[in-house]
Chain A
Amino acid sequence: MRTHCLTALLLAAACLGAVASARAEMPYLKPLRRAQLRNWHGSYAYTPYGLPTAVVTPPTANLQTNWGWGAASSRISRIDHQFTRNYQGPGSPGPNLGTPYWPQDTTQFGLYYVRGPWYPTQP
């Protein structure tokens, strides 16, 4: 009986320990980790500005819907990037494509969602 109790205790402690270690990084930090590896913009420039332009969305937004022509045209993608207080310099925007005369997808308009700042995740 004592052996069974000890085994049950060890199993419970192991499960609880695994849950505790999985909570080391809060879920709201994962988008920022993903954002370090990807650009906040696509290949196209917003025509009036000549550059890819960020559209501010609520920091509570996680997903966006992109639309295009054709079958199975809509897709859902993440909004990982978020405005922060770090100013890293003016940057060096590379050459961007212009919006086609006949746009085929919403990403071709050069407007890309970026979440507004949220203070617990500010540096």
Chain B
Amino acid sequence: MRIPAVAAALLVSAAPLLAPAGAEAVEGLWKRTISYQDKRDLFYNFYEGPDPSGATAGMYVSPRPVPPHVGHTYTTYQPFMPHEYLYHHHRSHYTYNPCAGWTRAKVRYNTHGLWLDHWWHSLKEEVCCH
């Protein structure tokens, strides 16, 4: 009877390890990350700085932080933003449309081992460029 008691005590002491510390702590460790972007982010850029030096940098040339009456250019669809193609990941974009419910866009960024590149390269050698 003593062994189950010891096991139960160990389980209780290990509970902080088994349970997540919080939703924000384990986020990003999941396979698919829910994006925080929404439609308002279409007109947003990404920035770095100023650090101690005071210099800043914008990731894209547009949109710039301008007054609302000034025209600007922007990427019209967040999943096509070039920085998303830099690494292998999955993302789901959720958007709430008033009176219409939620819509979801699932995006997967991967190369499948570049099999398409190999296939295209071999095709080029057969049909053209000789």
Question: Which residues on A are within 8 Å of B, measured CB to CB?
Answer: 5, 9, 12-13, 16-17, 19-20, 23-24, 26, 28, 35-41, 51-54, 56-60, 81-94, 114, 116-122
Report Cα–Cα, A57/B33, bound state, in Å.
20
6 A-B pairs in the complex with CB atoms less than 8 angstroms apart: A36-B51, A41-B55, A54-B57, A56-B86, A89-B56, A117-B83
Known: A41-B53, A53-B57, A118-B28. A82 touches B10 (CB 8 A): no
Q: Is there contact, CB below 8 Å, between B87 and A84?
A: no
Q: B54–A91 contact, CB under 8 A?
A: yes
Contact A94 B13 (CB under 8 A): no
Of B17, B35, B41, B56, most buried by chain A (CB within 10 Å of CB) is B56
Interface of A is mostly: loop
Does B46 lie within 8 Å of A57, measured CB to CB?
no
Which B residues are in CB contact (< 8 Å) with A39? 49, 51-53, 55
B59–A40 CB distance below 8 A: no
Q: Are B55 and A52 in contact (CB under 8 A)?
A: yes
0 or 1 for each of B68-99: is its CB under 8 Å from A? (1 = yes)? 00000000000000010011000100000000
Tell yes or no: B48 within 8 A of A by CB: yes
B: which residues have CB within 8 A of A? 2, 6, 9-10, 13-14, 16-17, 21, 24-25, 27-28, 33, 35-37, 41, 44-57, 59, 65, 83, 86-87, 91
Contacts of B27 in A (CB 8 A): 120
Residues from chain A with a CB closer than 8 A to the CB of B9 are 9
Would you call A38 and B51 a contact (CB within 8 A)? Answer: yes
Q: Is A84's CB under 8 angstroms from B17's CB?
A: no
Question: What CA separation (Å) do A89 and B47 show in the bound complex?
Answer: 10
**A58 and B59 in contact, given A5-B6, A120-B27 (Cβ under 8 angstroms):** no
B126–chain A nearest beta-carbon distance, Å: 34
Q: Is the CB of B51 within 8 A of A35?
A: yes
A13, A23, A24, A88: the one contacting B56 at CB < 8 Å is: A88
Whether B57 pairs with A92 at a CB distance below 8 angstroms is no
Excluding A85-B44, A89-B50, A116-B46, 10 further A-B contacts by CB distance (< 8 Å) are A9-B9, A16-B16, A20-B16, A38-B52, A39-B49, A51-B55, A52-B57, A59-B86, A83-B48, A91-B56
Given contacts A41-B53, A58-B87, A88-B49, is CB(A116)–CB(B59) below 8 Å? yes
Contact indicator B48/A23 (Cβ below 8 Å): no
